[in-house]
Structure 1
Amino acid sequence: MAKAEEYIKKDRELLEETVLSNEEISPGVFLLSVKRKWDFQPGQVVKLGVDRVQPPRIYSICSGNHEQELRVLFNIKEDGYLTPKLAALVPGDKVLLTEPYGSFIGSQKPAWWIATGTGIAPFYAMFQSGLFEDKKLIHGASYLNQFYFEDELDWSLGKNYQRCCSREQSCDVFPGRVTDYLKSLDELPKDVQYFLCGKAIMVVEVRDLLINKGVPYDNIIAEIYF
């Protein structure tokens, strides 16, 4: 599991950057970009804010580490303070963010990437950084329009890209949750890493399921979205 203290062990300076674009890629889901000024490892995060009144929130970087822009994927939480303000930003507006950090880092090793919702972000960063060889991506969503970046992921990963949809059906999508899909498999490889990213309940359920199927605990690396 990713260590929580990695994200709170010290304050990180919020720096003002200019929004380059803020595209709504699905209803209520936005991809915000600024100029990339730092090197980072795919899978790392930044803290993001719109002012110095409310604390910033942590978001995974959703772009390759060689691209000129640094992007963040977020969905609007109607009762939240930050995301409605982030969604209203237009090119030229200012946003606050920290330098990248974190230990949820992709590599060239064989791995399964397991995500729900906007938890796809760090895996898309890994994909865009060229780390998709020997990887299987499992993405769970409630609705079919929530499989972000699916065309390019499907094109590059083919049979190693598995979508799981719990509330709608399509001929090439598993009908159910990520956990249902994993339960349907007779056997899981024991010698690969399993990266999990999504809400806490999903991460805990998938972690326990993997362990029950014989996956070593040390092979499971998790990032929790709040």
Structure 2
Amino acid sequence: MAENKKVTTLKEHVITGNSEISPGVHLITFERPWNFTPGQVVKIALNNEHPPRIYSLCSGNNETEAAVLFNIKEDGLLTPKLSGCIPGEKVLVSEPYGSFLGTKDAAWWIATGTGIAPFYSMFRSGQTKNKKLIHGVSYLNQFYFEDELEWKLEENYVRCCSRESSCNTFPGRVTDYINGIEKLPEVKYYLCGKAIMVVEMRDLLISKGVPFENILAEIYF
């Protein structure tokens, strides 16, 4: 879920699908009546009694349905109920907005956890040329969409796992992976995940000579 304080109107959309793609992690799809740019966010609520929460779109901009990816927060007001929604029920959704936008420029996408959502949207929208995706998680079952990403991106899809190991993952955090690279390419660096990762990665990139203006960040809570 990305932070943004923009105030906007929410309208009803019909839920078309709800998949638990990993324990406690859901992908919700709903009708999409608007166009959007990959990387944008929407506000979501189930009623008008509680404030909406903000999520990055996790679908391609040529698809008929829109999607959001979220993990259940047991003490939350929205995600426990949202995870139980079934197709045909309605959800309140804003129009897309935000400035964390994908482009055709060469870039490295660096994400942790469900912070992969905007990058998956960019990927599904065809923005794969000159892109490298580095995804960090704690456990192997948290590499969402990995088969599709590996097939298309091949060596430009890097999995970093800090608490489990396998033959095709880097053993450690995304910051460990980046820290081990002697010279980074002159590209844009997109960061999406929890604040501590974003801050640490930004500082690390700057220490390695990446200009501040080449770093774009979206913080998830």
Q: How does 1:125-144 map to 2 (within 5 A)?
A: 125-144=121-140
* Corresponding residue to 1:151 among 122, 127, 147: 147
SS, match of residue 22 in structure 1: strand
Q: Deviations over 1:72-131 (max 9, x none)?
A: 000001111110010010011111110000000001100000000000000000000000
Q: Deviations over 1:146-194 (max 9, x none)?
A: 00000010001011100000000001100000011111111111x2100
Partner of residue 219, structure 2: 224
Query: Aligned partners of 1:127, 1:56: CA distance in 2, in Å?
Result: 27
Matched residues, percent identical? 66
SS, match of residue 166 in structure 2: coil
Partner of residue 174, structure 2: 178
2:38 paired with 1:42: yes
The amino acid across from 1:59 in the alignment is: Y
Unaligned runs of 5+ in 1: none
TM-score normalised over the length of structure 1: 0.96
Query: Aligned partners of 1:89, 1:144: CA distance in 2, in Å?
Result: 27
Query: Aligned partners of 1:32, 1:147: CA distance in 2, in Å?
Result: 17
2:20 paired with 1:24: yes
Query: Aligned partners of 2:31, 2:13: CA distance in 1, in Å?
Result: 8
Q: Deviations over 1:18-59 (max 9, x none)?
A: 110111111100000011110000000000111111100100
Unaligned runs of 5+ in 2: none
Query: Aligned partners of 1:220, 1:192: CA distance in 2, in Å?
Result: 9
Partner of residue 215, structure 1: 210
Q: How does 1:92-103 map to 2 (within 5 A)?
A: 92-103=88-99
Query: Aligned partners of 1:133, 1:35: CA distance in 2, in Å?
Result: 29
TM-score normalised over the length of structure 2: 0.98
Runs of 4+ aligned structure 1 residues displaced above 2 Å come to none
The amino acid across from 1:149 in the alignment is: F
Query: Aligned partners of 2:5, 2:178: CA distance in 1, in Å?
Result: 32
Query: Aligned partners of 1:97, 1:203: CA distance in 2, in Å?
Result: 27
The amino acid across from 1:63 in the alignment is: S
